[in-house]
């Protein structure tokens, strides 16, 4: 194991010593292993980074889009060449099982492959005019400077979902990653710079939450920021939305989820169990797309739960470096703390299944099949809670940990109502062999993403990703849809008639 690396923000290609406040990014599977000592920036430095981005952006925007696409493509190739080492760092710094970390790195490669091609397609339109000898066009223009604030549960894939299209579209970026994923962020940024992203076009700033708000507020005030992208909690998303709204900006917000999985009476129960295990406990339940509540039809509830309880009981948990585990530790102490609050929402009327204990896995509360040493890591028992009611906090709120609630329904309409009730709207799944059930579910659900006979998670690089309600402001990432986040339409009137034609007043009849 290597010792901690000292890390600082990188602004305009230069490492800038922080404000003096440091943060130790620890391996959550072995808290004694400090991955990085991070020098946190102050608000002024975050503003400086936005100013540097502003200076660098103009020239970057002049680089032809296909050439910018080549840079994004080269970034993807470098990520591919460093796939294993990047995945190992993800595993070490945020505790994601290595197989999942490899999958996450693959998402970056897929994203870069997609936007490499998009560089040659950054299409505008030719639009017919009402007037003769006049042509109308549209162009996609870069927004300018984008501040990207990301969480650490997907410390490289989700940032790449922003970075690749933002850079491709000719924007400069200030990236504020999660402090507890600082080393991983630096490794990814290094690959982007090596691929040819100019220094000032990608700036990396480490800062705590309040400093970020302060620095971002000043930068917005000073006209140095044109777009904010944020992936994280609904609570913080609201604050970002308020701040941006004051400056007449619409941020790209990808927030929490309380993602339901409906088990219809005709579901393939074995597959549904496998899907629920992966959806709810994969990444220790810390995906925005993690399964929150199973809504099982009354007829299959008992049998589904019997099989699911068995699967949960047998699920290997532990050292994320081992390929066998379903999940590893929680991301860091802060998340462990808020998850403990969520555990306190379990009420007397609930039945806890699948685990002998609730809470932290320690040497004193062992878990059968645990892989590795629990004493130094942020490991939690998988919790399966039956008897959940629609008024329960556990039904309404995101828990962001390995906890799944279970409730029942009688009619499909009731299932849809329950699925929509918490007011989030990110991802939802239905298990059924009946196309009509699947179709009616799809039609009735408020979520931005719907799965039929699959997991609630599993984004693909070319499909829109995003949510509604408490899950976001309707913005979408991935595929061509994210281009609307990082470009603005410019309309062009081009009159070659040799006369002053006036729209609405001068319609020429031929
Ligand atoms: C997130 O948790 O912020 O489809 C993103 C998925 C993942 C991405 C989740 N690939 O669940």
Q: What is the DSSP string of 390-434?
A: TTSHHHHS---SSEEEEEEESSHHHHHHHHHTTS--SEEEEE-S-
Around Cβ 246, how many Cβ atoms within 10 Å? 11
Element (H, E) at 89: helix 83-94
| Residue 399, C-beta contacts closer than 8 angstroms, at least 6 positions apart | 285, 292, 339, 342, 345
Say which of 179, 254, 397, 398 is annotated catalytic.
254
Q: What are residue 146's phi and psi, to 5 degrees?
A: -110, 130
* Any atom of ligand 1 within 6 Å of the Cβ of 455: no
Residue nearest to atom 8 of ligand 1 (CA): 459
pLDDT given at position 507: 54
Ligand 1, atom 3, residue with closest C-alpha: 288
Measure CA of the first residue to CA of the last residue in the chain; give whole Å: 79
pLDDT the model gives residue 243: 98
Given the CA of residue 104, which atom of ligand 1 is nearest to it? Answer: 10
* pLDDT tens by residue, the chain, 510 residues: 567 899 999 999 999 998 899 999 999 999 999 999 999 999 999 999 999 999 999 999 999 999 999 999 999 999 999 999 999 999 999 999 999 999 999 999 999 999 999 999 999 999 999 999 999 999 999 999 999 999 999 999 999 999 999 999 999 999 999 999 999 999 999 999 999 999 999 999 999 999 999 999 999 999 999 999 999 999 999 999 999 999 999 999 999 999 999 999 999 999 999 999 999 999 999 999 999 999 999 999 999 999 999 999 999 999 999 978 999 999 999 999 999 999 999 999 999 998 889 999 998 888 988 999 998 999 999 999 999 999 999 999 999 999 999 999 999 999 999 999 999 999 999 999 999 999 999 999 999 999 999 999 988 999 999 999 999 999 999 999 999 999 999 999 999 999 999 888 755 554
Q: Locate 469 and state its tokens.
A: 């309600």
Structure tokens at 172: 């400069």
Nearest residue (CA) to ligand 1, atom 11:
457
> Contact at 8 Å (CB) between 448 and 464?
yes
Residues in the chain: 510
Which of the 8 DSSP states describes residue 105?
Answer: H
User: Catalytic: 254?
Assistant: yes
Residue having the nearest C-alpha atom to atom 1 of ligand 1? 288
The tally of CA atoms less than 13 A away on the side-chain side of residue 364 is 3
What one-character DSSP code corresponds to residue 481? Answer: G
- The Cα 185–Cα 38 span in angstroms is 12
Sign of CA dihedral 433, 435, 437, 442: positive
Q: Which of 103, 106, 154 to mutate to test the pocket of ligand 1 (most atoms within 8 A of CB)?
A: 154
Return the pLDDT at 416: 98
82 sits in which H/E element: none
100 CA from centroid of ligand 1 (Å): 11
288 Cβ inside 6 Å of ligand 1: yes
Q: Are strands 14-16 and 9-11 parallel, antiparallel or unpaired?
A: antiparallel
The dihedral formed by the CA atoms of 31, 33, 34 and 36, expressed in degrees to the nearest 10: -120
Instruction: List, in sequence order, every beta strand (DSSP E) within 121-244.
Output: 125-128, 134-142, 145-149, 172-176, 202-204, 227-231
Tell me what ipTM this predicted complex has. Answer: 0.94
Q: Give residue 269's pLDDT.
A: 98
Contact 79, 115 (CB under 8 A): no
């Amino acid at each position: 194991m290597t010792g901690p690396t000292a890390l600082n923000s990188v602004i305009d290609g230069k490492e800038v010593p922080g404000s003096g406040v440091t943060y130790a990014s620890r391996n959550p599977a072995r808290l004694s292993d400090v991955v990085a000592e991070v020098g946190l920036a102050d608000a002024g430095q975050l503003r400086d980074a936005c100013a540097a981005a502003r200076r660098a952006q103009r020239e970057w925007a002049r680089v032809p889009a296909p050439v910018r696409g080549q840079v994004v493509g080269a970034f993807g190739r470098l990520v591919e060449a460093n796939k294993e080492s990047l995945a190992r760092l993800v595993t070490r710094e945020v505790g994601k099982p290595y197989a999942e970390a490899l999958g996450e790195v693959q998402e970056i490669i897929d994203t870069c492959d997609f936007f490499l091609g998009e560089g040659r397609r950054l299409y505008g339109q030719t639009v017919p005019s009402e007037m003769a000898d006049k042509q109308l066009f549209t162009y996609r223009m870069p927004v300018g400077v984008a501040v990207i604030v990301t969480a650490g549960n997907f410390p490289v894939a989700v940032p790449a979902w922003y970075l690749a299209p933002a850079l491709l579209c000719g924007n400069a970026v200030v990236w504020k990653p999660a402090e507890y994923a600082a080393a991983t962020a630096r490794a990814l940024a290094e690959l982007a710079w090596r691929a040819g992203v100019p220094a000032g076009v990608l700036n990396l700033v480490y800062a705590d939450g309040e400093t970020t708000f302060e620095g971002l507020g000043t930068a917005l005030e000073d006209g140095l920021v044109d777009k904010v992208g944020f992936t994280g909690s609904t609570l913080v998303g609201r604050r970002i939305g308020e701040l941006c709204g004051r400056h007449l900006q619409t941020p790209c917000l990808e927030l929490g989820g309380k993602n339901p999985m409906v088990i219809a009476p005709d579901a393939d129960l074995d597959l549904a169990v496998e899907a629920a295990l992966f959806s709810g406990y994969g990444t220790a339940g810390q995906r925005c797309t993690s399964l929150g509540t199973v809504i099982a039809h009354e007829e299959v509830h008992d049998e589904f739960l019997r099989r699911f309880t068995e699967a949960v009981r047998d699920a290997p948990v532990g050292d994320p470096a081992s390929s066998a585990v379903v999940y590893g530790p929680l991301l860091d102490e802060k998340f462990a703390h808020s998850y403990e609050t969520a555990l306190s929402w379990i009420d007397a009327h609930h039945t806890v299944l699948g685990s002998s204990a609730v809470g932290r896995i320690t040497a004193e509360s062992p878990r059968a099949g645990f892989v590795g040493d629990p004493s130094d890591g942020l490991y939690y028992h998988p919790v399966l809670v039956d008897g959940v009611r629609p008024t329960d906090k556990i039904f309404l709120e995101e828990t962001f940990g390995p906890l799944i609630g279970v409730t029942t329904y009688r009619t499909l309409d009731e299932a849809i109502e329950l699925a929509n009730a918490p007011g989030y709207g990110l991802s939802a799944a239905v298990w059924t062999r009946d196309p009509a059930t699947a179709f009616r579910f799809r039609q009735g659900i408020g979520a931005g993403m719907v799965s039929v006979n699959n997991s609630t998670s599993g984004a693909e690089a070319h499909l829109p990703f995003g949510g509604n309600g408490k899950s976001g402001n309707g913005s979408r990432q991935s595929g061509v849809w994210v281009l609307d986040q990082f470009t603005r339409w410019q309309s062009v009137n081009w009159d070659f008639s040799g006369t002053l034609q006036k729209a609405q007043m001068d319609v020429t009849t031929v």
